[in-house]
Structure formats: C-alpha cells, structure tokens
Amino acid sequence: MTETKKKGQKKQSIAAQDSIQRGREIVVDACHTLSSLGYLAGIGGNVALRIGDRMAVTPSAADYFSMEPEDICILDLHSLEILSGQRSPSVESGLHAAFFQSRPDIAASVHTHQPLASAMALLDQFVPLLYKEEIDALGDRVPVVGYGPSGTGMLVKAFRKSVRSSFNGYLLRNHGVICGAPTMKEAIRNVRILEKAAALYLESAIKENAGAGRTVLAEVLDSLKPYQNAKVE
C-alpha cells in the first residue's frame, strides 16, 4: 500500500470518528431538549440518528437529563450489531432501524411518551391534521400503528407495515409516538407540532361530549391551553 493511500485512509477514519462523535452529541442534545419538554419521562422513550450505514441510539434504562455522548450506542443499521458503546442499546433500536430502512430520506427518529399524543394512541384514534404547518411537517394525519409489545419484533413488523413516505409521524397503539425527519431539529419540531394538534383534537372532542360536570370540563380544557398555545420553532 502506498504512503498516499495510507494517509487517505487515515483521513477517512478520522472523518468517520468525528461524524460519529458529532452524532452522539446531537442525540444527547435532543434527549435534553425532549426531557425539558416532558416528552421523555424518566427512562421512557428513545432517540436515534442515522450516520451513513450506522445508527447512534440512546442506551436502555438511562436517565436523559444526565446522559453524556459516551453513553450513546453505535449500531450497524441493518444487523443492529453493536459497533461502539459501553451500554446496552435501547430495546426499541429495531423500531428506529425499520424507520431508517423504510425511509431513506429520514435521518432522525424520535420515540416519545408525550402526554396528549400518547393519550390518542391509547384511544386508538389517529390525529387529523388541518393546518398547513401540520400537514407540511407530518402529512394529512398521524396514523395509528397496530399494537405490539415494546421492544419486540411484533412491534417492529407492525410499524414497518405502516410506514409511508407521506407520513412523518405515527402513534404506536397503547404505547406512544414516533416521528422522523431529515434532521434532529426537524424531528423535535414534528413531535411538538403533533402534541399541539393532539391538544386541539382533544379539546374539540371534549366539547362535543360535554355531559360531565361543567366545572370538571372547564378544568380539563384549561389544562390543554399550554399545549395549544405552545410556540413551535
């Protein structure tokens, strides 16, 4: 091997390492942001980022507020073999990999347990999207994926069957939410837009079924206002 070729390979190796480190940092920053929003509760939820034919994913059973870049696992995108990292990867790694494999245009995948959209998942009710901002980000609705236990091939299979190029967000029945986008910033924006849309839908549904006491109804509607009025950047 020539000296020039060796130098070229060394540069490529350094560039790849830098890309992986930056990917880890992006995932950690996303976890901190989503935790501050209340979308990752405790150790629930997970985040992944495509890095070429690899994937950076959050570890299993980790506290998101205290997470550091070295905690992030690097997996082969197709085999899910652990390539780097000292911790066990999220049990939902297969879910994120299925998203990336089915949607080459997506590089960031966020699975949350955000309160209102997750309530819609428990109701098995898709979220209709009415406004241009919502439709541009997520499609004309956020469909419900058939139930599969968390961390199982059954859930991955159900999700893979549901993925469409026209939908960037999905409700996982009896579980939570998963949204994707070309960048992590856009993926976080998508889950925020979805939460706001879920708040609007639930407010409308509550008003249509106002058989409960008016005081209770007023309290419920007031609790939705922070989500409806949230500014999404």
What lies within 8 Å, CB to CB, of 159 at 6+ separation is 95, 98, 99, 145, 148, 170, 172, 178
Strands 54-57 and 73-76: antiparallel
The string of pLDDT tens digits covering residues 182-209 is 999 999 999 999 999 999 998 888 777 6
Residue 15 is predicted with a pLDDT of: 62
Give the range of the structural domain holding residue 218, as residue numbers without chain letter.
3-228
- 233 domain-assigned: no
Residue 211 is predicted with a pLDDT of: 57
Taking residue 150's Cβ as centre, other Cβ atoms within 10 Å add up to: 15
Structural domain count of the chain: 1
Residue 112 is predicted with a pLDDT of: 98
Residue 9 is predicted with a pLDDT of: 46
Residue 53 is predicted with a pLDDT of: 97
- 157 domain-assigned: yes
Residue 204 is predicted with a pLDDT of: 85
- 33 domain-assigned: yes
- 159 domain-assigned: yes
Please state, rounded to an integer, the average pLDDT across all residues of the chain.
88
Nearest CA-CA partner of 103 in 144, 50, 56, 54? 50
Q: Which residues pair with 59 in a beta bridge?
A: 89
Torsion angle in degrees (nearest 10) through CA of 165, 143, 44, 149: -100
Calculate mean pLDDT across residues 204-215: 66
The string of pLDDT tens digits covering residues 108-153 is 999 999 999 999 999 999 999 999 999 999 999 999 999 999 999 9
Q: Is 79 or 223 the better-scoring residue by pLDDT?
A: 79
Residue 166 scores a pLDDT above 50: yes
pTM, 2 dp: 0.86
Q: Is 177 or 211 the better-scoring residue by pLDDT?
A: 177
Calculate mean pLDDT across residues 210-225: 56
Residue 147 is predicted with a pLDDT of: 97
- 20 domain-assigned: yes
Residue 225 scores a pLDDT above 90: no
What's the CATH number where 192 sits?
3.40.225.10
